[in-house]
């Protein structure tokens, strides 16, 4: 494994960018800004290596971007209704940065922080200290995210977090994938399959109602391979609320510490590339890049359009702190939050 490092400057200071290249010439680029994925170069069925992760030409452009491109969202990924949080009998008001709701930890969430970084065997370890009161969350939190890359083109993300007071945590990666190539345009012909027989209906502002619904007979059914855009224009409330898919599914059988193999899969028939995702997260937010237009320019200098990439965010349920029937995202002193995501790239 060859690992190289470059330094760039943004408004918050120095960004460390690492490139991990395996024996097959496939690579991953990681940034200390948001502990994020900037690019993933993997072969197609003919052996041609091309980047399949959307990203910006300028590493500094990731700071405060709208799409949260490739970065680690936190303290709490996804939405918390009206920014309201009640922990250990005390009420907290978080920033409302997505209409009336709190999104991805707020304006200064983990995705907009410069993480500490160090090279490890076959990868990079990123770490971040979030002080008590950060974005008005209770308790100080320490987070570690380890990326490793191997010769089988497996990218493994291992998340850990501890806190000195009761708080909440929900960490995920927010990469947008286009297996035909990051600059190839609309990604809706990519096919998705997921081990999810239920999903979380929402109100029109995309906050879960609290119930789990079956996918049978709806556009939310991805239990068999289906182009992600096949039913995106259907007259179905969830697809109208967000101008496409921006919803959470329940991964069948997921438990912390017990990853579900092939929890979600993405494939592109033209290139032959397949992305299989293993994870122990209880849910997955599938987002079809409905609002990518207006983002910073990509590496080829072109402007991204809506639906140019698909985000597959393995995570806890949105608004779980306000929905006691959902799997808990509470983190208490003495506990360690541990979650894993494995991206496996192959061809067929």
Q: What's the CA gap between 176 and 336, in Å, rounded?
A: 28
Q: Let me know if 191 is a catalytic residue.
A: no
Question: How many beta carbons lie within 10 A of that of residue 262, not counting itself?
Answer: 12
Q: What angle do CA 20, 26, 27 make, to 5 degrees?
A: 30
Q: Are 242 and 318 in contact (CB under 8 A)?
A: no
Say which DSSP state 124 is in: E
Q: What's the CA gap between 36 and 116, in Å, rounded?
A: 12
Marked catalytic residue, from 102, 174, 191, 265: 174
Strand order in the sheet with 213-214: 176-177, 310-315, 283-287, 246-250, 198-199, 213-214
Marked catalytic residue, from 29, 135, 265, 313: 313
Q: What's the CA gap between 217 and 225, in Å, rounded?
A: 15
Q: Let me know if 174 is a catalytic residue.
A: yes
Q: What's the CA gap between 277 and 265, in Å, rounded?
A: 6
Active-site annotation, residues? 174, 313
């Amino acid at each position: 494994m060859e690992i190289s490092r470059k330094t760039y400057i943004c408004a918050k200071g120095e960004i460390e960018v690492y490139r991990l290249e395996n024996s097959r010439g496939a690579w991953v680029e990681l940034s200390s800004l948001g502990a994020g994925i900037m690019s993933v170069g993997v072969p197609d069925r003919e052996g041609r290596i091309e980047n399949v992760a959307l990203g910006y030409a300028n590493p500094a452009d990731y700071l405060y971007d709208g799409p949260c491109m490739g970065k680690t969202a936190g303290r709490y990924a996804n939405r918390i209704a009206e920014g309201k949080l009640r922990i250990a009998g005390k009420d907290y008001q978080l920033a409302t940065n997505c209409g009336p709701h709190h999104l991805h930890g707020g304006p200064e969430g983990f995705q907009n922080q410069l993480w500490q970084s160090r090279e490890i065997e076959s990868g990079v370890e990123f770490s971040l200290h979030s002080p008590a009161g950060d974005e008005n969350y209770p308790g100080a939190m320490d987070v570690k995210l380890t990326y490793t890359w191997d010769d089988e083109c497996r990218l493994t993300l291992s998340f850990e977090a501890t806190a000195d007071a009761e708080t909440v945590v929900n960490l995920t990666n927010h990469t947008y994938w286009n297996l035909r190539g990051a600059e190839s345009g609309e990604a809706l012909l990519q096919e998705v399959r997921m081990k999810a027989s239920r999903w979380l209906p929402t109100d029109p502002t995309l906050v879960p109602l609290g119930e789990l619904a079956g996918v049978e007979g709806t556009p939310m059914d991805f239990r068999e391979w289906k182009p992600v855009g096949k039913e995106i224009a259907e007259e179905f409330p969830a697809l109208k609320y967000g101008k496409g898919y921006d919803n959470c599914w329940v991964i069948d059988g997921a438990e912390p510490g017990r990853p579900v193999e092939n929890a979600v899969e993405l494939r592109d028939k033209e290139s032959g590339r397949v992305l299989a995702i293993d994870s122990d997260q209880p849910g997955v937010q599938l987002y079809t890049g409905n609002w990518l237009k207006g983002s910073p320019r990509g590496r080829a200098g072109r402007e991204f359009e809506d639906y140019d990439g698909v985000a597959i965010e393995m995570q806890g349920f949105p608004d779980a702190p306000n929905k006691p029937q959902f799997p808990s995202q509470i983190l208490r002193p003495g506990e360690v939050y541990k979650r894993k995501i494995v991206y496996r790239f192959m061809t067929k």
